[in-house]
Structure 1
């Protein structure tokens, strides 16, 4: 592309922001207008600087990448938004694409490849790392949401379905109560439900249908 592409970098790690900036500065058409260290800053800077392209981290403290993306789209931000993250979880990928991301790139990609993909994104293409392409291509084949749960998350879900409290589950599985909470949070996100009760109903229905 001949004209400049104004870019907003959103990442809560200063070192990562610096690395991405240095990479982007290798491409003369890129102009970094701002760096945001969290989702709220990203929303403010997006309206302030009207970037053409936003590089958005997924796992940030405070507002998550997904919530930031939804907020940006709700605010009417029409910049191209490319998720740049370490997570290759199918559920993260599907959620962000469904929420309006224009691409999904993994941080462990080769720098040259990353730069090339971001350039393609600036030219209006939807860009994905190779493994993400594969996941999106086989998305419709993924029918069982329980397949995405880890063995330990399934263990916790079984105990939840038996009506056990976090404390009881912790004792029974020999893990801390905090770990139980983390597993339950991840499990609810993966199953796309908001409560233990909803997860239990889903689990019991699935058992009955098998």
Structure 2
């Protein structure tokens, strides 16, 4: 399997070994040095085996995503133009599959998800697509661990990938509410001290969509300084350090409140 990208560390290791002066080394010693250098390179290759598979049919978009994700994530990114290509080169070293379904017919989406879920159910699948609730529902039914609408900001998308690599599940808040058979519970209970207000919840949803404070202020008809106050209060209540953590934490809390999206879909399918 070939992983795209230049392994600069390997070149450095080999260069150091070869550049060291060998004043009076015998042929046997020189051979030993070469073997040691080869072992170091092989060891580094083993560490890089674990990678993220990016499936995107459009060349330009695929290369742009590859470069962006490679710079933002710690794991190597291996790109594929089709699910069939990925299937033919699948290996146990895949840590996560990032599947782009932004320009694919519904039947092809179902086929792609069916193929990927059958390869190895333990490998998390993240679907990136247009805002389509039915497609998100299909993705969950096939075991996907995340659904990222194309309206999501790059920063939040990277946070989602990191969150899922750590064992989490991510779906937009609006989708989770829709997945519950009877909608949000009608029972009114006393909110806990750190519960978000209705306005703060609106701000959180806007943050999840990657909107700036200025746009949020315009949408909610409030001042930008008020938005900043809401964001500060939200981060305090969620114990979040930045906006990305707010977006991811909100998904986790919501999933727990409604017993998780997969449980909701299982009830729907009965």
Q: Same fold (TM over 0.5)?
A: yes
Runs of at least 5 residues in structure 1 that lack an aligned partner in the other structure? 143-210
> Cα RMSD over matched residues?
2.4
In structure 2, what is the equivalent of residue 37 of structure 1?
Answer: 81
Match for residue 178 of structure 2?
138
After the TM superposition, which residues 1-210 of structure 1 pair with which residues of structure 2 at under 5 Å, given as runs? 6-32=51-77, 34-45=78-89, 47-48=90-91, 50-58=93-101, 59-60=103-104, 64-85=108-129, 87-128=130-171, 132-139=172-179, 140-141=181-182
Aligned residue for 1:26, secondary structure, equals helix
SS state at 1:100 partner: coil
Question: What is the deviation of 1:109?
Answer: 1.6
Stretches of 4+ moved more than 6 A in 1?
A: none
Q: Give deviations 1:25-79, integer Å, cap 9, x for gaps.
A: 12351211x211112112223x236311000012437972331221122233521
Tell me the TM-score normalized by structure 1.
0.56
Pairwise CA distance, 1:22: 1.6
> Are the equivalent residues in 1 in contact too, given 2:73–2:158 (CA < 8 A)?
no
Gaps of 5+ in 2: 1-46, 184-270
- TM-score normalised by L of structure 2: 0.45
CA distance in 1, matches of 2:118, 2:73: 31
Partners of 2:95 and 2:123 within 8 A in 1: yes
What do the CA deviations read for 1:93-132 (whole angstroms, capped 9, x no partner)?
A: 111111111100022321111111111111111123xxx3
Tell me which structure has the larger Cα radius of gyration.
Answer: 2
Q: Per the alignment, do residues 53 and 141 of structure 1 end up closer, same or farther by CA in structure 2, a change over 3 Å counting?
A: same
Higher strand share: 1
